[in-house]
Structures are given as C-alpha cells and as structure tokens.
Structure 1
Amino acid sequence: MEKLIEVKNLTVSYNTYAGEVQAVRGTSFDVEKGECIAIVGESGCGKTVTSKAIMGLIQAPQGVVKEGSEIIYKGEDILKFTERQWQDFRGAQCSMIFQDALTALNPTMKVGNQIAENLIIHRGMSKREALEEALKMLQLVGIPDSDKRINQYPHEFSGGMRQRVMIAIALACNPSMLIADEPTTALDVTIQAQIIDIIKNLQEKLGTSVILITHDLGVVADLANRIFVMYAGKIVEAGNFEEIFYSPKHPYTWALLKSVPRLDLENKEELVSIKGTPPDMVCPPKGCGFAQRCSHCMKICLTKEPPAYKFGGEHRASCWLHHEMATNLNLPFEVGGGVL
C-alpha cells in the first residue's frame, strides 16, 4: 500500500524553568492510506506531543522540533511549511479530535457554526451550504434530532455527544488523515464503545487514515491495523494486532496488557498495576527508559540503550532480553530475534 505519511527521527523538546524536557526522542513510524494505527502508552510518554508535531502545533520558543526530524506527507516535508501552508493543511488535509471536547469546543458558538466554519474556510461554501453540510455531518455521527441540535451550544450536550460533535468537525472537510487523541477519555464504557464504532465506521466509509492515541490497549483491539507502544519518548515495540496482543516482546507491552481488566479472571484476583512512574524527561535515562520499573532489568539495561530486534514482518522491540547472551528465565514472552 501507498504510505500517506512518514515520521522520521522526530525529536521534540520543551524549554522549561527546570531545564530541557525531551518529550519525543527519535520516533519513527508511517501510516498507509486508509490504515488505522494506534500509539499506546502512559501519560507523559510523548504520544500527544507526536500528534501535535504532525499538526504543526508545537509552539515556539518553548517547544522545539529538533533538526534531523522529518514528517513526510505525500512526498513533502511538512515541517518546512509556512504558516499559511499549515493553515491550509489543518482541517483540510489533516484533522484532530482533541482529548477534552468541552475545552476544545468554543462555548460561545453554536455547534452548527463550528462545523460550518471549516467548510467555509477550506471548501469555500456559503454559510447556508455549510450549515446544510453540517447538519448531514451531525446525522452521520449519530446525533439524534440533528435539526434542533445544530442550533445548540456545547454546554447543552452530554460528554459523549460533545465528542461526536468533535468528530463531525474533524471529518467535515473529508481529510486524508484523522488524529484521535484519547477520544474516549472521561466517557463511560458504553459511550466509549459507541465512539470507537463511529470512528471505525467512518474510517471505512470515507477511507480516512487514522492515528489513534490512547493509554488503553483495550480500546484499540478492534480498530488498529498496527500498534506502536511508546515509552519515555521512544517507540519500544511495534507490530500488527496479532503480534502485539498474542506475542508481545517488550516487558512494558506485557505490563500494559496485564493491566487491562479481563472477564475471565477470578473475582478475587487483584488488578495488575505497573509500579513506579515514567522517568523525568529533563534527565532521560542513559539506558532503557523502562529499566527502573522492569522486573527483568539487567545491569546493561541501566547503562546502554537497547537496539531494536526484529521478529519477522514489521514486528520489532527494543529490549536487551532478546540479546543472545541474556539468560533471564520465566519471561512472559519468547526471546530472540535479529538486530535491525
């Protein structure tokens, strides 16, 4: 398949009073046309910063995209865009569903006008035509009584309905790329399922490529073609759905999978949590970012960054346990693999 976007060696830092926060450290991945990928990891791992870099929303002088970073969209490095090119790109070519719909939506504008705004700017529609299209978008995302709802304000909607409005705004101009940043945050499980179904159905119907950002592997189970597990600003494991869920190769991926509640567990079994916290990215660890929290940590993990080991296809993981000299036993996964 044809690649729509390629992120190469993306490095993003923020200058703060405490020092330079190295939020993203050499991240690389790609998205094919019509494909859905997921970037998974805890808060503070660099997922949202990666998505903001793709949207050109890293604000200088605090935020800096370092030299050597590339984001190739349809053969062009968008990091070299002018501000006018970014304005044409956002909304028309690439749209984003933000985490908190209540703060992302304008509280002083009716939702119909907020959807129509994109259509007027990027498609050159008249206000009447844009409102007619906005009504269709509200119906498309499953908002009942759309002809009435189009004239209401965001505070008159529930959390799930506001998220549907955000999806309608993002897809109004039929962009090639949709970034969904934690689209189910703060929603109950039934509404979460509905939102994921809407994104899945619209992606299949419109042929839109999707980057789904989440901390919950359960959310991506029925949506993503490929999954990228991110930790401490780096992608530590990447593979397709079956490889990540049924043959994980990194201790962090295993920990994320174990922390997802399961219906087949006994009632008295404790939910598994990942001990500790992500590292301070003002002073990133010298070796593996997950070493301090890993129960299989070796001396080399604390001092030297592991290479990426390949396990067939596009499945890869960065972990010293796959080195031929590693002797750890009772691992939750099989070791081995060639160095990339």
Structure 2
Amino acid sequence: MEKILEVKNLQVSFHTYAGEVKAVRGVDFHLKKGETLAIVGESGCGKTVTSKAIMRLLPEPRPAEMKEGSEILFNGKDILKMNEKELREIRGSEISMIFQDPMTSLNPTMTVGKQIAESLRIHRGMNKNEAMAEAIKMLELVNIPNADKRVNQYPHEFSGGMRQRAMIAIALACNPKILIADEPTTALDVTIQAQIMDLIRDLQEKLGTAVILITHDLGVVADTADRVQVMYAGQVVERGAVKEIFNNPQHPYTWALLQSVPRLETKNKDVLYSLNGTPPDLVKPPVGCPFAARCEYCMGICLEEMPEITIVDGEHSVACWLKHQMAPKVEVPEVLRKGE
C-alpha cells in the first residue's frame, strides 16, 4: 500500500525560561492510504506536538523550533520547507485535524454552518449558497439531527458530543487525504465516545481517508487502529500492528500501559496497576533509555546508552536493551500473555 506520509527524524524543541525543552526527539513513522495509525502514551510524551508539527501549527521559530534534519514528507513534498501559501493549500484540504477540545476550537461568534462553509469556499471555490447547502449535507453525514436548522446555530447551542461531530464535519468537508484526530473522545461520556469513533471509522471507509489517532485510551486503539506506535519522553519505544502490540508487547512501558487498563475479569475492589515515578525532565533528557528510572528491569547499560532498535517480527520493532542477545530473559507479565 502506498505511503502517503513519511516522518523522518522529527525533532522539536521549545525554548522556555527554564531552558530548551526537547519535546520530540528523533521520531520516525509513516502512514499508508486509508489506514489508521494510533499514537499512544501518557500526557507529555510528545503525541500532540508531533501531530501539530505535521500541520505546521507550532509557533515557529520561537518558542517552537524544528531541528535541522527533520523531514515531514506528504506525497513526497517536505511540509517543513513549504511557504505559507503552500501550507494554506494543504491545511483543511489535504490534511485536516480534530482538536482535543471542540468548545475552544470552534469559533463562538460564528454559526456552525458558516464555519463549515468557510473551508468549502476557500478550498473548493463554492459560492455562499453552495457552501451552506454542502454544510447541511456534512452535518447530516455526521448524524446531527435537524441539520437544516442546526446549521444556523452557534457552538454553545450544541452538546459536547454534537460539537465534536461538528468538528469532524469541518475537518472532512474537503475530503482530506489525512485526518489527524487528537484525543477525539476526551471529556465525552462512554456512549458518545463509542458513537464518535464509529462515526470516524464509517466516514473513513466511505471517503478512504487515512487517520492518525492520538490517544491514551487503549480500548479505542484496540477497536479502531491498524498499527500502533508507543511514545515515551518524545521518542517511539515500540511500534507494530495492533494485534502484535496487544498480544505480544515487548517494551516494559507498553506492559505498564496495558496493565493499567481495567480487564473484564477485574473485580470492583481490585487495585489497578499503577506505574511509579514520573517522566524525565526533557530540558536535560537522560543519556540512556528514557524509561530506565521507572523500569523494574533496568540494567546498567540502560542508564548509559540509548537502546538499539530491535526487529521483533515484520513491522513490529522495539527500543529496549532487554531484547539484546546478552540481556537476561524477562517474561511478559502473566496478566498480558495471550489467552490469559
């Protein structure tokens, strides 16, 4: 399948009063047409910074800085070398993004219909009437009832779930090739979360859009994604097909993430697994493995050198010294073994 996006050696820093925060450190990945790639990890690991870097929405050149050697190739063209005119042409048209909080992302002074129509008029050259008619169709597409009336309402007149649907309508109005969904189910109740993810999946199948799903909800990932990459402290520590990550996880951090998810057999009074410690300070990132200070399997080499990338099987790879041929054998935690 053809690669529509390739991110190579992405390095993003923020210049702050405390010093240079190295938020993303050498991230590599690709996205194929029509697939869903999930990027998972706890807050502060670099997921959102990576997604905004793809859209060039970070405040450059200060405080954000894209380091030399970084590449973001969309259909072979480096987004980091595009001028403002070229960026305007692909934002919303070729690559769209659903942001975390729809209430702060939508313009409170404009009707929802006008916000959808604005993108259609800019990118598809529609006149006012054509754009509003298409806006109604988009609201119907995302299952908002009474779309012909809702199109003239303001964001505060929509519920949380409906605002998120409106954001999806805006993002998909121009049939983008890539949709970046940054925590699309945050702050929504479980029923609405399921509806939103079903909606994204249905629209993806209809329009053939590739999706980058940014989330910390592994339940959503298991049900939605084709491939997964696990990020920690600005780096990718494990990547692979969703079945490989869930059935055969290799990195201790991935184990920790999976163990922290409630299981069907979990009883009401059972204590969920909790990962001790905190992520490293990225003003002064560690010279060795960034997870070493929190890892119960930490060895001397982990503190001294970055781990090598080890191919587990096919596209499944991991950055961990435990995979070295000289390392002691460590079993996957029993609760995570396939079939348990």
Number of the residue aligned with 1:41: 41
> How does 1:235-246 map onto structure 2 within 5 Å?
235-246=236-247
Q: Quote how far apart the aligned CAs of 1:78 are.
A: 1.2
Letter in 1 for 2:122: I
Number of the residue aligned with 2:338: none
Q: Does 1:9 align with 2:9?
A: yes
> How does 1:255-274 map onto structure 2 within 5 Å?
255-274=256-275
Tell me the SS of whatever aligns to 2:96.
strand
Give the Cα–Cα distance (whole angstroms) in 2 for the partners of residues 277 and 140 of structure 1.
43
Give the Cα–Cα distance (whole angstroms) in 1 for the partners of residues 331 and 230 of structure 2.
23
Number of the residue aligned with 1:283: 284
> How does 1:202-217 map onto structure 2 within 5 Å?
202-217=203-218
Q: Quote how far apart the aligned CAs of 1:65 are.
A: 0.5
Number of the residue aligned with 2:249: 248
Output the aligned Cα RMSD. Answer: 1.0
Give the Cα–Cα distance (whole angstroms) in 1 for the partners of residues 21 and 311 of structure 2.
30
Q: Does 1:315 align with 2:316?
A: yes
> How does 1:112-261 map onto structure 2 within 5 Å?
112-261=113-262
Give the Cα–Cα distance (whole angstroms) in 2 for the partners of residues 282 and 14 of structure 1.
9
For the 8 Å contact 1:58–1:65, the answer to whether it is kept is no
Number of the residue aligned with 2:337: none
Q: Quote how far apart the aligned CAs of 1:331 are.
A: 4.2
Number of the residue aligned with 2:87: 86
Number of the residue aligned with 2:64: 63
Q: Quote how far apart the aligned CAs of 1:329 are.
A: 4.2
Alignment coverage as a number of residue pairs: 333
Give the Cα–Cα distance (whole angstroms) in 2 for the partners of residues 103 and 294 of structure 1.
37
TM-score normalised to structure 2 length = 0.96
Tell me the SS of whatever aligns to 2:148.
helix
Tell me the SS of whatever aligns to 1:264.
coil
Give the Cα–Cα distance (whole angstroms) in 2 for the partners of residues 22 and 231 of structure 1.
12
Q: Quote how far apart the aligned CAs of 1:267 are.
A: 2.9
Give the Cα–Cα distance (whole angstroms) in 1 for the partners of residues 196 and 258 of structure 2.
22
Unaligned ranges ≥5, structure 1: 334-340
For the 8 Å contact 1:308–1:318, the answer to whether it is kept is yes
Q: Quote how far apart the aligned CAs of 1:268 are.
A: 2.6
For the 8 Å contact 1:321–1:328, the answer to whether it is kept is yes
Number of the residue aligned with 1:103: 104
Percent identity, aligned pairs only, is 66
Tell me the SS of whatever aligns to 1:270.
coil
Tell me the SS of whatever aligns to 1:221.
helix
CA offsets 1:185-204 (integer angstroms, 9 cap, x no match): 11111111111101111001
CA offsets 1:220-256 (integer angstroms, 9 cap, x no match): 1111110000001110000001100000000111111
262-271 or 4-13, which deviates more:
262-271
